[in-house]
Amino acid sequence: MITVFGSINLDLVVSLPRLPAPGETIVGPDHQSFAGGKGANQALAAARAGARVRMIGAVGEDAHAGPALANLEAAGVDLSRVRHLEGTTGLAMIGVAPDGENLIMCASGVNARVAADWLEGELSPETFLVLQRELRAEPIREAVARAREACAFVLLNAAPSGDADLADLVDSVGVVVANEIEAAELGIARGAAPGSSADAFCAALSGPERLSVVTLGPRGVIARLGQNGWRVAAPRIEVVDTTGAGDAFVGALSAALDRGEGVPRALCEGTAAGALACTATGAQTSSPDAGAISALADTLTCERTTAS
Ligand code: RIB
């Protein structure tokens, strides 16, 4: 069973001719609203990939709460621990450029009031706990401590970047997943030289019993566990919107590891899900199901990069 402790947002998405520079206004034709939030996106991705998933987080008592939870509900995610608090549901304003790149501004709303004691009674050695950094640092830190105490397995997704303060938490988790910016941020905080390669940052985040994974966008992923290294090249796809690709990767990787797949297959399934998630607008719309993930993962190769 996967438990996701994280953020739930409503995303307002505008397609733009290009992303704005600071101080600039860029006009797009229209906006669309989608369910989002890194925690919710990852919970949905894991459920669509076939895992049993419980979401722990919060929405407000406002009109955005229902749409923010609709996909999770439809996918059978256990929402009984999602609290409805007085206040506003998290909101993300997202601009998407024609090449699929995005720019995201987020208002936490009630995500800022999610507390680690909501995990009381929810953690056991059977729990696969998935965390991101979109909640406040304090509950994330406490969640990891509680998980350790309960002997639960923890996957920490380092997204979003901007808080190297949590770099020490890496030592307490079983898997850490970061993109290149996040891997550099955490790697430097853990002693790697600024300007190091993604491989070096990946090594700085790994350990004898800790899998580190660095996602490289169109270049695929690299991973390290002790002396073992892997690389998966990304499949060629028509990119529409990269929003939520990292979340789809984390959800599918978690689902694969939770059902006992080895690292190479789990990396291929994560890579397949991340790629497929780029093929439509919206973080959750294009989150693929188990059949699509498996079919694309079968075409990918996970190459060994270091001798064991
Ligand atoms: O990772 C993508 C997500 O980041 C969006 O859904 C948005 O809500 C922000 O949390």
Q: How many domains does the chain have?
A: 1
Determine the pLDDT at residue 162.
81
* Ligand 1 within 6 A of CB of 247: yes
Determine the pLDDT at residue 306.
72
Decide if 19 is inside a domain: no
Contacts of 94 (CB under 8 A, 6+ apart): 11, 12, 13, 14, 36, 102, 103, 104, 105, 243
What does pLDDT average to in each consecutive run of 10 residues of the chain (308 residues)? Answer: 98 95 94 96 98 98 98 98 98 94 94 98 97 96 97 97 85 97 95 95 96 97 96 95 96 98 98 96 93 98 80
- Ligand 1 atom with the shortest distance to the CA of 35: 6
Tell me, in angstroms, the distance from the centre of ligand 1 to residue 106's CA. 8
d(Cα 66, Cα 51) in Å, to the nearest integer?
A: 23
Evaluate whether 77 touches 106 at the Cβ level (below 8 Å): no
Decide if 265 is inside a domain: yes
Decide if 225 is inside a domain: yes
- Ligand 1 atom with the shortest distance to the CA of 284: 6
Decide if 31 is inside a domain: no
Determine the pLDDT at residue 53.
98
d(Cα 67, Cα 118) in Å, to the nearest integer?
A: 23
Helices (H) and strands (E) in the chain, counts: 8, 14
What is the best residue among 8, 11, 103, 181 to mutate for testing ligand 1's pocket, by most ligand atoms within 8 Å of CB?
A: 11
Decide if 98 is inside a domain: no
Overall residue count recorded for the chain in this entry: 308
Range of the domain at 182: 2-6+38-87+111-306
Query: How does strand 53-60 pair with strand 31-36?
Result: unpaired
Q: What is the residue-wise DSSP string for 62-97?
A: STTHHHHHHHHHHTT-B-TTEEEESS--EEEEEEE-
Question: Shortest CA distance to 106 belongs to which of 56, 154, 40, 165?
Answer: 40
CATH (domain of 223): 3.40.1190.20
pTM: 0.96
Q: Is 247 a known active-site residue?
A: yes
Decide if 24 is inside a domain: no
Determine the pLDDT at residue 166.
87
Decide if 105 is inside a domain: no
Nearest residue by C-alpha to atom 2 in ligand 1: 244
Tell me, in angstroms, the distance from the centre of ligand 1 to residue 108's CA. 11
Determine the pLDDT at residue 308.
42
Decide if 99 is inside a domain: no
Strand partners, 179: 215
Question: Of the residues 11, 241, 247, 258, which is catalytic?
Answer: 247
Determine the pLDDT at residue 234.
96
